[in-house]
Amino acid sequence: MQIKEQIESLRQELREHNHNYYVLDNATISDYEFDVKLKELQTLEAKHPELYDASSPTLRVGGGVTKNFETVVHNERMYSLDNSYSKEDLEDWEKRMQRILGDAQVEFVCELKYDGASISITYEDGKLVRAVTRGDGFQGDDVTTNVKTIKSVPLQLKGDYPPKFDIRGEIVLPFEGFAQMNAERVENGEEPYMNPRNTASGSLKLQDSSAVAQRPLDCLLYSIIGKDTGISSQWQMLEKAREWGFKVPEVAKLCKSTSEVMAFVNEWDSGRHNLPYETDGVVVKINSLQHQDELGFTSKSPRWAMAYKFKAEQVSTLLNEITYQVGRTGSITPVANLVPVLLAGTTVKRASLHNADQIAKFDIREGDTVFVEKGGEIIPKIVGVDFTKRPQDSEPTQYITHCPECHEELVRTEGDAKHYCVNFYGCPPQITGRIQHFISRKAMDIEGLGSETVELLYKENLINNYADLYTLTKEQVLPLERMAEKSAENLVQGVAESVKIPFERVLFALGIRFVGETVAKKLARAYKNIDALMAASEESLIAVDEIGGRIASSVVEFFNNDTNREIIARLKTYGLQFSLSEEQLENQTDTLKGLTIVVSGVFETVSRDELKKIIESNGGKVGSSISSKTAYLVAGDKMGPSKRTKAESLNVLIVTEGEFLEMVK
């Protein structure tokens, strides 16, 4: 087979699998097989840059960086929708329309109103050419590079699509993926995101598209805009979009009357709680596009469409007590303990109050009857107080001044919404929290030891920090609750085996604030061993690619602490890995130390990602744009002429792929 055909057939096959998996939710190949084929395609494409295609499935992994999002004027304005809240509202709307349309029989299409970030995507000759955010409705930001990484957005259409059109829809972050992202953030000592909608729209504006590629975003489409599309109704629009490869939810209904519309609304008002993503209403549209044309727009919204807003499910209940939780990093979260109530299908007993400001804003007090709502957030929130029910002797809430666990005075720094207990080494939940993080799966992955056992061991005074784990004996562990001969043995053995865990994971396990898995890897690679890292200054840390001031100062602070230094010294004597392995070191040199290198274009023998890895493992830093600090520009095929001009004007050395690989040989 010709190379060209081989590449085309692989692309076609991978596109089909992507569509089955991400749009139809019906996998037709194993993840492993998919990866093998994708790698095969990547290798072929790297060898044949002349066959580059901007809609190849290999571009899904991202890599492009957008420094400034360009403002783009929409081909057609993106309107708002009028809201309605009752059957009467809908009937009034119908009457207003009938006045314009006369006696014509109208049909309605009901769709769910997805709660995410609106997007308008332009396709030309079946290829995705541009994706623009809603912005102010007239113009938005060009986020094409990021949208291309969303797997359910087709890069290449199939079927009888028109040569040019825009399609509009909503980018959403399904609950499950959102919860997972938050679990990871909490693990890394970061604040969790508030809700899926804001996180989805924030994701579109990330500069690094490979970070976007890792977020489990989805894109649901509902409207096609263009001349000569051959489409005559909203219902046909949904069907056609599905045929061309777009993800158009099956939940939609063609209705003959507002009563049928209300039946759909009522069904989904409760049914929506079983959907994987957030919805906040139903959008009702007049089916015939000819009718839509006759009705036209007001200054803000189409006359032919109406949003029917679901009432956010709300209940009222009694707030018994406000308690305070202390996290692994010392952050304090106030929690409302409620008289249990049923809300959106689940029993709610507790709600987060977030921080002191939140309590003050609503003037929430113990003994109050409060309104609880389930919005986009997973955890229900308190949205107000029923002041008519406030007891006579009610007192304003005094936010705690001291840690509920260790009684240390709390601190709150400028610009931080939370209070912190800074007694990091004497506060019980912080001590056990750190040990629990240390043993967790992505850190030291200690088999035979779980979170509850950590708490027991701490309570029995057998451990006070993670170094103590390594001196535990079977005899000490055996008397603990629910311990048996075998489980005690497993625990001690699990701890002993963890000394093989590689340096980068040990670094992550230490629980340095803001040092998550990826940062730990970066630091391990940059400094190679713990001594070098412990000696590093903030300036030197910031010079490492992607390490910012916040991380740098946290790292310095951690290693300046005597307790931490002592614990690390002990861990060393127990044999933990505190430097990169021989093998890791072998692939490392200092050849490019101190040099910032920008790569641009398409390469022949290595992929762009490989090239970046080569730079980093040789001590260099990958730059994202050309500046006077850039040492080299590695220029591949198809590099934009403006880059070359800029490099030349700043006297940046331009090298070819071959010359560069020679440098690091």
| Residues making contact with Zn ion (CB under 5 A) | 403, 405-406, 408, 421, 423, 427
Annotation says 621 is catalytic: no
> What token pair was written down for 258?
């507002």
> Binding pattern to ligand AMP, positions 37-76, x when CB under 6 A?
----------------------------------------
- Confirm whether residue 111 is marked as ligand binding: yes
Q: How far is the CB of 201 from ligand AMP (least distance, A)?
A: 11
Q: Could you count the other beta carbons within 10 Å of the beta carbon of residue 615?
A: 25
Is 219 annotated for ligand binding?
Answer: no
Instruction: Say if residues 23 and 65 touch (Cβ distance below 8 Å).
Output: no
* CA-wise closest residue to 38 among 5, 77, 10: 10
The answer to whether the annotation marks 255 as part of a ligand binding site is no
Tell whether residue 84 is among the known ligand binding residues: no
List the catalytic residue out of 4, 37, 47, 113.
113
Nearer to ligand AMP, 81 or 150 (CB): 81
Is 170 annotated in a binding site? The answer is yes
CB 498, CB 446: distance < 8 Å: yes
Pick the piece of the chain touching ligand AMP (CB under 6 A) from 107-115, 203-211, 480-488, 609-617.
107-115
Which of these segments, 108-116, 190-198, 513-521, 634-642, binds ligand AMP (CB under 6 A)? 108-116
Contact 163, 230 (CB under 8 A): no
405 binding partner (options ligand AMP, Zn ion, none; Cβ < 5 to 8 Å by kind): Zn ion
CB atoms within 10 A of CB 630: 20
Give the closest residue to 424 by CA, choosing from 384, 464, 484, 379.
Answer: 464
Residue 377 C-beta: closest distance to ligand AMP, Å:
19
- Closest approach, Cβ 264 to Zn ion, in A, equals 52
Question: Of 641, 519, 549, 661, which is closest to residue 597 (Cα–Cα)?
Answer: 661
Among 10, 38, 81, 571, binds ligand AMP (CB under 6 A): 81
Q: Which stretch binds ligand AMP (CB under 6 A): 28-36, 113-121, 526-534, 589-597?
A: 113-121
- Residue 134 marked in a binding site: yes
Tell me which of ligand AMP, Zn ion, none is bound by residue 403, counting a contact when its beta carbon lies within the kind-specific cut-off of 5 to 8 angstroms. Answer: Zn ion
User: Residue 112 CB, nearest distance to ligand AMP (Å)?
Assistant: 6
What residue type is 37 in one-letter code? K
Mention every residue, 6+ apart, whose C-beta is less than 8 A from residue 378.
Answer: 175, 178, 179
Distance set, CA 330 to CA 327, 402, 421, 442, 508 (Å): 5, 12, 5, 21, 18
The phi-psi region of residue 364 (left if phi > 0; otherwise alpha if psi is between -120 and 50; otherwise beta) is: beta
User: Does 80 engage in binding with ligand AMP (CB under 6 A)?
Assistant: yes
Per CB under 6 A, does 307 bind ligand AMP?
Answer: yes
Considering the rule CB under 6 A, would residue 114 count as an interface residue with ligand AMP? yes
Binder among 34, 165, 222, 264 for ligand AMP (CB under 6 A): 222
**Using the rule CB under 6 A, which residue among 15, 19, 113, 434 binds ligand AMP?**
113
**Cβ of residue 83: shortest distance to ligand AMP, in angstroms?**
7
- Is 108 or 222 the residue whose CB approaches ligand AMP more closely? 222
Token digits for 290? Answer: 């000819």
- The burial of 632, by beta-carbon neighbours within 10 Å (0-12 exposed, 13-18 middle, 19 or more buried), is given as buried
CB 159 within 8 A of CB 244: yes
CA distances in angstroms from 237 to 42, 109, 244, 256, 531, listed in the order given: 35, 11, 11, 18, 63
Could you tell me which residues are beta bridge partners of residue 108?
255, 286
- CA separation for the pair 614, 593 (Å, rounded): 12
Site residues (CB under 6 A) for ligand AMP, limited to 428-457: none
Applying CB under 6 A, the span of 35-43, 106-114, 237-245, 522-530 interacting with ligand AMP comes to 106-114
- Contact assessment for residue 38 and residue 609, using Cβ atoms and an 8 Å cutoff: no
Closest contact distance (angstroms) between CB of 223 and ligand AMP is 6
Nearer to ligand AMP, 219 or 526 (CB): 219
Residue 162, classed as helix, strand or coil, is: coil
Give CA separation, 432 vs 308, 441, 456, 571, in Å: 49, 16, 10, 17
Task: Pick what 80 binds: ligand AMP, Zn ion, none; C-beta below 5 to 8 Å, kind-dependent.
Answer: ligand AMP
Whole-number minimum distance, CB 311 to ligand AMP, in Å?
15
Between CA 245 and CA 15 the distance in angstroms is: 10
DSSP 3-state of 283: strand
- Known binding residue 403? Answer is yes
Q: What angle do CA 412, 417, 421 make, to 5 degrees?
A: 40
Under the binding rule (CB under 6 A), the answer on residue 278 touching ligand AMP is no
Give the whole-angstrom CA distance, residue 346 versus residue 342: 6
**Measured between alpha carbons, how far is residue 462 from residues 269, 326, 475, 575 in Å?**
53, 22, 11, 21
| 217 touches ligand AMP (CB under 6 A) | no
Is there a binding annotation on residue 406?
A: yes
Is 517 annotated as belonging to a binding site? no
Q: Are strands 305-309 and 83-84 parallel, antiparallel or unpaired?
A: parallel
Rg of the Cα atoms in the chain: 29
Q: Output 217 or 507, the one with its CB closest to ligand AMP.
A: 217
Instruction: Output phi, psi for 115, to 5 deg.
Output: -105, 95
Tell me whether residue 87 is annotated as binding: no
616 is in an annotated binding site: no
User: Of ligand AMP, Zn ion, none, which one does residue 307 interact with (CB within 5 to 8 Å by kind)?
Assistant: ligand AMP
Report which of 390, 392, 386 is spatially closest to residue 315, judged by C-alpha positions: 386
* Residues that contact ligand AMP, how many (by CB under 6 A): 12
Euclidean distance between CA atoms 10 and 434, whole angstroms:
47
Q: What is the secondary structure of 456-516 as a DSSP string?
A: HHHHTTS-SSGGGGGG--HHHHTTSTT--HHHHHHHHHHHHHGGGS-HHHHHHHTT-TT--
Smallest separation (angstroms) from Zn ion to the CB of 407 = 7
Neighbours of 341 (CB within 10 A): 15
Return the number of the residue (165 or 632) whose C-beta is nearest ligand AMP: 165
**Which of residues 80 and 605 has its CB atom nearest to ligand AMP in the complex?**
80
Site for ligand AMP in 119-148 (CB under 6 A): 134
CB atoms within 10 A of CB 442: 14
Least distance (Å) from ligand AMP to the CB of residue 245?
Answer: 19
Is 32 one of the annotated binding-site residues? yes
118 near ligand AMP, rule: CB under 6 A: yes
User: Cβ of residue 275: shortest distance to ligand AMP, in angstroms?
Assistant: 13
166 contributes a contact to ligand AMP by CB under 6 A: no
Residue ranges at the known binding site:
31-35, 80-81, 111, 134, 170, 285, 309, 403, 406, 421, 427
Interaction site with ligand AMP (CB under 6 A): 78, 80-81, 111, 113-114, 118, 134, 170, 222, 283, 307
Q: Which residues participate in the annotated binding site for NAD(+)? A: 31-35, 80-81, 111, 134, 170, 285, 309
- Binding residue positions for Zn(2+): 403, 406, 421, 427
Positions annotated as catalytic residues are 113
